[in-house]
Amino acid sequence: MKPLSSMSSLPIRLAWVQAPVLVPLLRVAVVVCLVMSAMLFVEKVYKGAVFALPIKNDLETGNDGYPMVLVQIPMYNEKEVYQLSIGVACGLSWPSDRIIIQVLDDSTDPVIKELVVWECRRWASKGVNIKREIRANRAGYEAGPLREGMKHSYVTRCDFVAIFDADFQPEPDFLCRTVPFLLHNPDVGLVQARWKFVNSDECLLTRMQEMWLDYHFTVEQEFGSFAYSFFGFNGTSGVWRIAALNEAGGWKDRTTVEDMDLAIRASLKGWKFVYLYDVKVKKELPSTFKAYRYQQHRWSCGPANLFRKMVVEIAWNKKVSLWKKIHVIYSFFFVRKIVAHIVTFVFYCVVIPGTVLVPEVEIPKWGPSTYPPSSPSSTPSLHLVVFWVLFENVMSLHRTKATFIGLLEAGRVNEWIVTEKLGDGLKVKAGSKAPKKILHLTEIGVGAYLFFCSCYDVAFGKRSYFVFPFLQAAAFAVGSDMSGPSAPTPSNRSPFRRNGK
């Protein structure tokens, strides 16, 4: 009977701090989260209304002429995919005298460097105009090699530049389907293709990523292209007009999202962007939780840091309309890159479970119903939607931390770790060792909080919230188990550092 008595006295003990501390704080948190949820809901309704309008495409897409095109492939110790990436670039259907393949090799492993050299020589012997460029100073994230690559004299002969990361596989007709939009529309500075994932069915982690990115491409980028002729460049699978790139100031390494930085500066100069939903480029998704966490840190921290650096510049720009400024500052940056991450974690993983402990705080029913901020645009089976919601809440913890690091320019703001790639290693050999399991204490801590809230609701609560916190606690506890095999790369830490650090 003693343990039972101890449990029954728990609400009394919590009451000592509820009235003076928890109740006011939680009420303020509820109001802030409801405001942010409303912002996200209005954003989704607006996008839906825009998509309901008839689409008018006044772009010209003629197929006459073959301008000079530069194809850049930045790579760093890409042992598993270097041969594939160089091969698909050299296989693009374009006159051999009107294309230059530029391999920007920042590899530090001498074996891999030699392999890249021989692969370039092999294609050169077949008549392909291919150049392998290296740097003495590897500072500058991925912007560094791209910027240095544009300085070579032969680049002045080119009108457009196509960029592919090392694990991307464009179809042979990629240039034939993208370059005409630039050739016949002089106000278009960028044509962006969609990604297609070669390993989406590898594990649960890759399935969840596909659902999230499908929303990003189907709604975020297509909406931006249609409504504002603007969206964030994905850093790969796109073709730039070199004149637009140069007018925008070229590549800068002030943040870890150099691609988004360039896109915004070019847009502020008046250049328009086109997103081609039906042109797809194959790529590999991270299949380990560790690799995905590093990638999401960069994708969340970088935009927040860029917002801090560019918000004043955007506000005072005189070349774009006030409506476009509002779209970039409020919609593109504040709502999607900051609010969406914070409200997902704080509201659904902290505040709502916290009301179980503080029943004096009420949440309107419409508040939680605005979830999720980024709904999958496809219609997968119901069990995947449930897993997706739980997975997004787990990742919102890391995205929220990264967002604040970017806004405050804290310790890991300049961290760039190259995403692990498997390439042919996707076909795991029998008998290969399983990856080591790592305990992530932050996830375990949040999971313990949610589990406690769930148990408290079962014992003392009246709202029957316990099902959601319990499932979410389990998701936080086993988050690292949603990963596939580790990539057999020698090192995934990038040399891209500001000032060579």
- Domains of the chain, with CATH numbers? 13-55+289-419+436-482 (no CATH), 69-285 (3.90.550.10)
Extract the tokens encoding 326: 């509002």
Residues acting as catalytic residues: 106, 259
As a whole number of angstroms, the distance between CA 353 and CA 348 comes to 7
Model confidence at 3: pLDDT above 60: no
What's the whole-number mean pLDDT along residues 372-387? 63
Model confidence at 19: pLDDT above 50: yes
Extract the tokens encoding 51: 């998509």
Burial (CB count within 10 angstroms: exposed 0-12, middle 13-18, buried 19+), residue 135: middle
372 preceded by a cis bond (ω within 30 of 0): yes
For 55-78, give the DSSP string. Answer: P-------------EEEEEEESS-
pLDDT of res. 211 = 83
Pairing of strands 272-283, 188-197: parallel
Q: pLDDT tens-digit profile of 281-332?
A: 999 998 888 888 888 999 999 999 999 999 999 999 988 889 889 989 999 9
| Contacts for 196 with CB less than 8 Å, ≥ 6 apart | 280, 281, 282, 283
DSSP state of 49: H
- Sign of the torsion angle spanned by Cα atoms 305, 311, 312, 314: positive
Q: Phi-psi region for residue 60, left (φ > 0), alpha (ψ -120 to 50) or beta?
A: beta
Query: Is residue 61 very low, low, confident or very high in pLDDT (cuts 50, 70, 90)?
Result: low
Instruction: Note whether 189 and 272 are within 8 A (CB).
Output: yes
Instruction: Note whether 235 and 281 are within 8 A (CB).
Output: no
pLDDT of res. 449 = 92
Among 324, 133, 143, smallest CA distance to 248 is for 143
As a whole number of angstroms, the distance between CA 300 and CA 306 comes to 10
As a whole number of angstroms, the distance between CA 24 and CA 83 comes to 60
Model confidence at 208: pLDDT above 90: no
pTM above the 0.75 mark? yes
Q: Could you tell me where the DSSP H helices lie in 184-275?
A: 204-215, 222-228, 242-247, 258-268
What's the whole-number mean pLDDT along residues 128-149? 89
As a whole number of angstroms, the distance between CA 294 and CA 347 comes to 24
Q: Helix, strand, coil: what percent of the chain each, to 5?
A: 55, 10, 35
Among 450, 337, 448, smallest CA distance to 400 is for 337
Among 162, 305, 179, 291, smallest CA distance to 234 is for 162
Pairing of strands 238-241, 160-163: antiparallel
Phi, psi values for residue 280, rounded to 5°: -115, 140
**CA-based R_g, the chain, Å:** 25
Q: pLDDT tens-digit profile of 389-415?
A: 888 898 999 999 999 999 999 888 877
